[in-house]
Structure 1
Amino acid sequence: MISQNVYVKFDTFNTRDEVLDFVYDEKELNSNINNWKEDLDKYISYKDKHLKKYSEESNYRNIYVYHLTVLIPIELQNQKEEFVKNYMENIDKRFIRNMYVFKFIQKGKGVFAEIMAITRYIYKKSKKVAKKYKRDFYYDSQTKKLCLKTNPNAVLKIKKGSHVLDDNGEKVYEVMEVSEKEDRIFTYKKIQDLTEKLKSCVISTVNQMTSFPVITKVVSRITIEDDDSKHIKAKKRKRNIEIRKINRTIMRFIESMTFGKIADSDEVEDLNDEFVRKADNMIHKLNRKIEDVEQFLNKWWHKNILDGNFAV
């Protein structure tokens, strides 16, 4: 069975011990930040002070860092440090300044990068910031005690975003070494969507670093005209979303054949042309359901690639 030669595993470290186990491992560590040990201490201290309380039944957990395991493509193993740098910046440009720490491990003939990524900016110099309330506070006008907003006697006492004041009415300040705002980099509705994104960033990085990038032909989307009605525009947008899904499938197939060395460049180009021609005909001329187009592509892939017979 031939599979795509791209491997990415996504995970999280939910405790400080997991973070410390990673950095105190005997393997040689690298980072995009020179003084990463000092910055990591600042970050861990910040997280320790800002942990949320979740019940055991809750599906939510505190996340200290994000952990990625990425297979380094064979042709780039001699440039593995540069590969990690480009890969992280392809995931999100904020990793130019947001810190990540990484190491390399060998498993058989494969070389993997283990990356610990932080999605908050760690300040070069600490900042003095006025403290603000993070939520609204209500009190019961009868009992004068704090209460919920739904209480019929509830009166807004403190508004979210208001400054915290001391007994003399002066603003209270705190020293911040880490950004309060977390960058939404690894957020997702479905883990499959995030995994697909992380894998596509591997492909983008390979294309960026090799002399022979993979250029995939795809099905054209439908043009939305200015004078289209709202109803027509909505239908076209929906269809274009479906076409993008088909194009991702085609791109995945072409990338798999290229990086998995399933076929030579001429064969891959011919197959790409045939994929697009048939998918384009089914979508734009026959107006077939996207599920039918995807089924056709997947059926071809399983029959011809997994069984090793090339015939479109």
Structure 2
Amino acid sequence: MIAAVTTDARRLVVTEVPDPVPGPGEVLLRPLVVGVCGSDLHLFDGDAGALSGAERGLPRIQGHEIAAEVLDDPSGRFAAGTRVAVWPLLTCGTCRLCTAGAVNACPSLRVIGVHLDGGLAGALAVPAANVVPVGDVAPAAAALVEPVSVAVHAVARGRVRPGDRAVVFGGGAVGQGVCLVLADAGVSTLLVDPAPARVRAGALWGAAATTTTTHDGLAAEVDAWSGGQGPDLVVDATGVPSVLDTALHLVRAGGTVVAVGLTSAAGPVHTGLLAAKEVAVLGSSCCTGAEFATAAALVGRWADAVGALPVRRIGLADTVSALSGRDADDVVKTLVDVTG
């Protein structure tokens, strides 16, 4: 089969590789569309950061935001041709966190497309438990289930209620997903991103209000939007260290800040605000299998909005261009048409 293989930092070749051989309990899939995200760029650059030694696993077939169709399932659970999305986490299942349900925080966590070969190939074998049917959802939309699943978990960490207000920093795919999940939960959301195209997309993905103001004047905008109360929740989907400090200033007393953007950088934070405002600051990483299934259902319900996301479509042969730099501001997600 043909695959895009990252052989070393900033080196990728599209080449013939052996077909995968499914093991016991695995399903053979044909990847259709695969999304490219920030963690893919970091791994390609050789800066794995929070990816737990993934750079030592090269060469690697990347791609963890996977829409596929079933080629063969020996168990008979999934019929050939079934459209699916792939929950990309493999966990030990026995540690304290796994047995408590926090499988996404498993110390032995492995991610398909990061620690194991992923979707940028003609075929992929994965455990049946990681296969989630998506019905008639288009493959380009199904490839967005994974970033939406990250948003589902982030919102769950935020413990919001209908009628709450939230500010979301970052109009990438995860930030857009957070807006969608919050809107579906009855929460009014203000999306903050400097790119006009991304805030326009946010309005389609459920944001009640948007702004491209990110520095001077933002506090006044948030204050006016929240009626002087401040948001109940602030979500940082950027990974920019200074945003966390801004979030602490903006959130209401007793509110919650959730950090979902990955970064290996450090930055100053006014820690006195944690006590003075009694703010809860929570990290959020990946999602559980149940949350991934929830995301698949959300993408189905919000199909029109998901389909309107500004994307760049490329073929497998052009994968290196997608991994070599960030998307333009008028693009939220690059999607690789694996079969194209």
TM-score category, normalised to shorter length: under 0.3
**Higher RCO (CA 8 Å, separation ≥ 6 residues):** 2
Q: Give 1 or 2 for the bigger CA radius of gyration.
A: 1
Higher strand residue share? 2
Task: Give TM-score scaled by structure 2 length.
Answer: 0.23
Q: Which has the higher helix share?
A: 1
Instruction: Please report the TM-score for the alignment, with normalisation by the length of structure 1.
Output: 0.24
